[in-house]
Amino acid sequence: MERRSFFLPISALLLLLPFLFTTATAQSTKLSRNFYKNTCPNVESIVSSAVANKFRQTFVTAPATLRLFFHDCFVRGCDASIMLSSPNNNAEKDHPDNLSLAGDGFDTVIKAKAALDNDPRCKNKVSCADILALATRDVVVLTGGQSYPVELGRRDGRISTKASVQRQLPHPEFNLDQLNAIFASHGLTQRDMIALSGAHSIGFSHCNRFSKRIFNFSPRTGRTIDPTLDTQYALQLRQMCPLNVDPRIAINMDPTTPRTFDNAYYKNLQQRKGLFSSDQILLTDNRSKAVVDEFASNPAAFSKAFADAMTKLGRVGVLTGRQGEIRFDCTRPN
């Protein structure tokens, strides 16, 4: 078959340049820490106050809000599409992977939105996506973690479907390659992934998410407990999560300081006390072990890596400029 070359005339390229430049500029629109300085200058203090009030009502506010942010950004980007409800249960929040999201996370965003709307300057000026990003930083601080600057300027998405969640979230049994692949799809490195996993420091899990590790790890070999899991810890988990346990029962992911955002998560991994196999693999796989050891021995290194990773996560798939909208109600499109 004859292969033909195709060339654009120089004149045609010159005509295309303005379009290409405009497109590139639009795609690289950046978020800004001072995005609301002229429209809602007190946005951070208003949100922080509302989140603190909610946190005083229940500690679950913290892990629930953190997890909500992750689940939002990993599906369609950080556009608060996780907040949208569907009359026929077909939204992101209705997918099986999201049914365990605690209601307190959603309520935190709704309460912060109401607080902003009570200020005439801020009413319907701040996106639900930005509120969730700010609230996530605030719960980290409220539980003892280090503060970090939050970039703002996200717009809210109008689309939320159950189908879009499929195969987009990491699962408790993932190995390192699977974890790296799903995080890399969002521009996040292995170091970012390990740092973000530190959010499990204040996380909790329902028993069915790890029951196989403590009761039926390998039926073929007759091994009931995962050998990468500390045996005494496994026996404690069996007491807290017996067979046929109430499915509503949840267990702290950090058995040492479950209400403090710190680097104990990594120290627990060193003691073979990672609740999920996807946690413990970070230590048992030599490709990631060095970073786990670093974060376990150097809390400042963990704090910086977590802040950097959260900033990168907060940029994933964002809508800016005229894309999307600023929702009047975080649970439904305008």
Q: Are strands 204-206 and 250-252 parallel, antiparallel or unpaired?
A: antiparallel
Distance linking the first and last C-alpha atoms of the chain: 55
Q: How confident is the model at residue 8 (pLDDT cuts 50, 70, 90)?
A: very low
pLDDT tens digit string along 229-268?
A: 999 999 999 999 999 999 889 999 999 999 999 999 999 9
97 assigned to a ligand binding site: no
pLDDT for res 218 = 83
231 is in an annotated binding site: no
For the chain, give the percent of residues with pLDDT over 90: 88
Catalytic residue annotation: 71
Stretch 96-120: mean pLDDT: 97
| SS3 track for the chain | CCCCCCCCCHHHHHHHHHHHHHHHHHHCCCCECCCCCCCCCCHHHHHHHHHHHHHHHCCCHHHHHHHHHHHHHCCCCCCCHHHCCCCCCCCHHHCHHHCCCCHHHHHHHHHHHHHHHCCCCCCCCCCHHHHHHHHHHHHHHHCCCCCCCCCECCEECCCCCCHHHCCCCCCCCCCHHHHHHHHHCCCCCHHHHHHHHHHHHHCEEEHHHCHHHHHCCECCCCECCCCCCCHHHHHHHHHHCCCCCCCCCEEECCCCCCCCCCCHHHHHHHCCCCCCHHHHHHHHCHHHHHHHHHHHHCHHHHHHHHHHHHHHHCCCCCECCCCCECCCECCECC
User: How much is the pLDDT for 197?
Assistant: 98
Q: Which two tokens stand for residue 47?
A: 């949100």
Same fold, 42-165 and 176-313: no
Q: What is the mean pLDDT of residues 56-72?
A: 98
Q: Is 204 left (phi over 0), alpha (psi -120 to 50) or beta?
A: beta
Q: Please check if 197 is assigned to a binding site.
A: no
Look at residue 314 and tell me whether its pLDDT is greater than 80. Answer: yes
Tokens standing for residue 216: 């039926």
Mean pLDDT of the chain: 92
Which one, of 98, 104, 100, lies nearest residue 61 by Cα?
104
Instruction: With CA atoms as reference, report the closest residue to 310 among 73, 35, 81.
Output: 73
Q: What are the distances in angstroms from CA 56 to CA 60, 108, 240, 326?
A: 10, 12, 26, 28
Q: Across residues 87-115, what is the average pLDDT?
A: 96
Architecture of domain 42-165: Orthogonal Bundle (1.10)
How long a stretch of residues is the chain? 334
Pick the closest to residue 203 from 289, 294, 105 (CA basis): 105
Tell me the average pLDDT across 86-100: 95
Q: What's the pLDDT at 22?
A: 35
Dihedral sign computed on CA atoms, order 103, 183, 135, 72 = negative
Ranges of each domain in the chain: 42-165, 176-313
Residue 44 has pLDDT above 80, yes or no: yes
| Token code pair at residue 23 | 């497109």
Residues in CB range of 128: below 8 A, 6 or more apart: 80, 83, 109, 113, 156, 327, 330
pLDDT level of residue 106 (50, 70, 90 thresholds): very high
Map tokens 């499109």 to a residue: 333
Is residue 306 a contact partner of residue 198, using CB atoms and an 8 Å limit? yes
The answer on whether 81 is annotated among ligand-binding residues is yes
Q: How high is the pLDDT of residue 12? A: 41
Q: Is the predicted pLDDT of residue 320 greater than 70, yes or no?
A: yes
**Site of tokens 């973690």:** 145
Q: What is the mean pLDDT of residues 93-98?
A: 96
Residue 138: per-residue pLDDT? 98
Domain made up of 176-313: CATH architecture: Orthogonal Bundle (1.10)
What's the pLDDT band for 29 if we cut at 50, 70, 90? Answer: low
Among 24-28, 149-153, 163-167, 286-290, name the one with the lowest average pLDDT: 24-28
With pLDDT > 70 as the criterion, what percentage of the chain qualifies? 91
Mean predicted confidence (pLDDT) in 67-84: 98
The answer to whether 126 is a known ligand-binding residue is no
Q: Could you give the angle at which helices 128-142 and 61-73 cross, rounded to 10 degrees? A: 140
φ and ψ at residue 238, rounded to 5 degrees: -60, -35
Report residue 86 CA to chain centroid gap: 22
Query: What confidence tens digit (pLDDT) does each residue in 156-214 have?
Result: 999 999 999 999 999 999 999 999 999 999 999 999 999 999 999 999 999 999 999 99
Lowest mean pLDDT segment, chosen from 11-15, 80-84, 164-168, 260-264: 11-15
Q: What's residue 255's pLDDT?
A: 96
Is residue 72 marked as binding?
Answer: yes
